[in-house]
Amino acid sequence: MKLCRAEYKTIAKFTEQLRPTRQCMKILKERFPNHSPSTLLSIFSLEYQKKMKRTNLRHHAPDVVEGYYQRYLSEAKIRPSAPVLLEIANEVDLSPSLLARLVLERFLEEREDSVSSKQVVNSMLREPCLIPDLLLAKHVEQCTINDCCYGPLVDCIKHAIGQEHEEILRDKLRERNLSFLDENQLRAKGYDKTPDIILEVPIAVEGHIVHWIESKASFGDDQSHRTYLNEQFWSYWNRFGPGLVIYWYGFIAELDCLRDRGILLKDCFPSDIVTLCHETTSN
């Protein structure tokens, strides 16, 4: 789904009032019924992550963390069955999973009189049953389950969705009998930074030559696309020539402005593929 920049900004502006809980998707679908839930969730996730990056330092100030921790202890004691951490996160406009991490780190510091390693904290967030406090474990789990933008559950889902769409791309190529090398095969050949697919025989899509294809199971907004261009796409272009990027959940239509420079954007697998033949030399 391609959106004009004005339409994207309308959705992005609306997401500013939402929190990353399950209810936000219901609100988004009711407000924008003509857009796919996957596209809406991807846009919301992108915008919320930008917001968290802007406010990150404020939430991590030692006195602020201490305030969150003491408030949690106080309210959890009075209302142990209530989703205390989740309520605090929504009130202070912080991702539930990020608040759970801050409170867990502070709890472990107090318990062990030292700062726990990132590995220990991550393992407890993935498996709250490892937290040596049953009540805190329950509240941390509530945060990770109800957070649709951050946390170990979201990371697993995003990874699985990314893998799924890469497999969809490979299946589409096989259906068209197109020879290709995927990322794993390319790395085995010694390439360190590769697109998802290198076509062994180039194709033409809408009159543009394509040597490689990159799969993105996300929405392509200005910021993420600019980052991908600088960190991935231009290096692919320099090494392999012109290519195609598929943003499966759509993108801002105005970003598809680099076709003549060798980078084509699509929101689905192209249907009008022309296979190009390698030139041969005859004696």
Predicted confidence (pLDDT) per residue in 145-162, tens digit: 999 999 999 999 999 999
The vertex-68 CA angle with 66 and 70, nearest 5°, equals 65
Give residue 219's pLDDT band: very low, low, confident or very high (50, 70, 90): very high
pLDDT in tens, 59-102: 999 999 999 999 999 999 999 999 999 999 999 999 999 999 99
What's the average model confidence in pLDDT over 22-32? Answer: 91
Direct distance between the N- and C-terminal alpha carbons of the chain, in angstroms, rounded to an integer: 50
- Closest C-alpha to 228, from 248, 210, 214: 214
- The architecture (CATH level 2) of 155-275 comes to 3-Layer(aba) Sandwich (3.40)
Task: Write down the pLDDT at residue 283.
Answer: 37
Q: Tell me whether residue 247 is exposed, middle or buried, using C-beta atoms within 10 angstroms of its C-beta: 0 to 12, 13 to 18, 19 or more.
A: buried
What's the average model confidence in pLDDT over 213-231? Answer: 97
CA pair distance 251, 246, nearest whole angstrom: 9
What is the overall mean pLDDT for the chain? 93
pLDDT in tens, 250-282: 999 999 999 999 999 999 999 989 987 654 333
Greater confidence, 191 or 227? 227
In our burial notation (b when 16+ CB lie closer than 10 A, e otherwise), range 211-243 reads: bbbbbbbbbbbeebbeebbeebbeebbeebebb
Task: Write down the pLDDT at residue 279.
Answer: 45
What's the average model confidence in pLDDT over 16-38? Answer: 91
CA pair distance 58, 193, nearest whole angstrom: 35
Task: Write down the pLDDT at residue 281.
Answer: 38
Per domain, the residue ranges of the chain are: 2-146, 155-275
User: Coil, helix or strand for 23?
Assistant: helix
Task: Write down the pLDDT at residue 277.
Answer: 67
Task: Write down the pLDDT at residue 239.
Answer: 93
Most confident of the following: 190-194, 214-218, 275-279: 214-218
User: Coil, helix or strand for 244?
Assistant: strand
Q: Name 214's Cβ contacts closer than 8 Å, sequence gap at least 6.
A: 195, 196, 197, 228, 232, 233, 236, 243, 244, 245, 246
